[in-house]
Amino acid sequence: MLRLVFAAPVLLILVLFALSPQNRAMTTFGFWPTDFLLTLPLSLAMLGAMAVAFVLGALVLWFSLLAARRRARRAEYAARLLDAQVAELKAQLATRQTAAQSASRSLVPAA
C-alpha cells in the first residue's frame, strides 16, 4: 500500500507530461550506423529515455550487489555449520556429564 502512495503521484506526473500539448512536437531520431529514422512525440522520447536510464541503473545496482549477496550466502552457510557444531558439542557435553555423574555415584561408598 505504501508503494502505491509513492507511485501514484509519480505516475500521474508522467501521464500529465506525456499528454501535455507543449510536448507533442514531433522529433526525429536517427540511429547512426544505420539509416533507420524514428519519429516520435517529444514526450514519448523523453519517457523512453527515462525508462532506459532506469533499467540501466537497476542493472548496475544489481551487478554491484552480487558480491555482497555472495558474501551473505557464505556467511549464512558458515553460521548454519557453526550452529550444527555447537549443537553437536552440547550433546557430547551432556553425555559426558551424565557419564561422569554415574561414575561418581558408583565410586561413592554406601553408608
Q: What is the pLDDT of residues 66-106, one digit of tens each?
A: 999 999 999 999 999 999 999 999 999 999 998 888 877 77
**C-alpha cell belonging to residue 94:** 551432556
pLDDT of residue 67: 92
pLDDT of residue 1: 82
Q: What is the pLDDT of residues 40-75, one digit of tens each?
A: 888 888 888 889 999 999 999 999 999 999 999 999
Burial call 1-19: b when 16+ CB within 10 Å, e when fewer = eeeeeeeeeeeeeeeeeee
What are the boundaries of each domain within the chain? 1-64, 67-105
- Beta-carbon contacts of 18 under 8 Å, excluding residues fewer than 6 positions away, are 43, 44, 47
Has residue 19 got a pLDDT over 70? yes
